[in-house]
Amino acid sequence: LIWYANIGEETIYFRERYDNYPVLFFSNLVINFLVPFFILMRNDTKRKFGSVSFVAIVVLLGHWIDYFLMIKPGALITRNEALAHASHGTTEHGNGAEVGHSTGHATEQVSDFVSGFTIPGLLELGTFIGFLGLFFYVALVVISKSALVPKNDPYLEESLHHHVV
């Protein structure tokens, strides 16, 4: 849709990720679409616990990469812009002195960031593990307070012996 509509604002978003993060960009496509699609295409794999668990873990990893790819380039660009504007105060912006504003940027501080392939670091991994632990804690506390097997269900015995071929 973006290509057909020729929306320039959206193409900049994808161009940044395509040019500077090609490994993450294409692995995001493979992990979030192609792997689950081809594994779960057959009916027998959808009924096996192992294959569905594998796809669930792959998709969870894929969503983590997807969010990393959405946030990281924009955060680094914002950081670099903040470093570039750190050398002059806000008074020239407040006074509307835009005439000499663009000329002073040649001598400003240059960021040490080099755009290219970056991988999630310890901060991202620690945040992921922390939220995963919080999720399991809350889920297990809620599950422990309720009955998992329904009581007085007339079809309980029948459903326990039901097998899908």
Task: Locate the domains of the chain by residue range.
Answer: 2-88+118-160
> Token pair 């779960």 is at which residue?
40
In terms of pLDDT, which residue wins out, 45 or 73? 45
**Local structure of 38: helix, strand or coil:** helix
Asked if 62 and 32 touch (Cβ cutoff 8 Å), the reply is yes
**Nearest CA among 29, 28, 50 for reference residue 39:** 50
Q: 98-135: string of b/e by CB count within 10 Å (b at 16+)?
A: eeeeeeeeeeeeeeeeeeeebeeeeeeeeebeeeeeee
In terms of pLDDT, which residue wins out, 68 or 115? 68
Q: How many CB atoms lie within 10 A of CB 28?
A: 20
* Mean pLDDT to the nearest integer, 101-105: 52
Reported pTM: 0.55
For 11-43, how does the pLDDT look when each residue is reduced to its tens digit (9 = 90+)? 778 888 888 888 888 999 999 999 999 999 999
Confidence band (pLDDT; 50, 70, 90) for 140?
Answer: very high
Which spans in the chain are helix H? Answer: 2-5, 8-20, 22-29, 35-39, 43-46, 49-84, 91-94, 122-144, 156-160
pLDDT attached to residue 56: 94
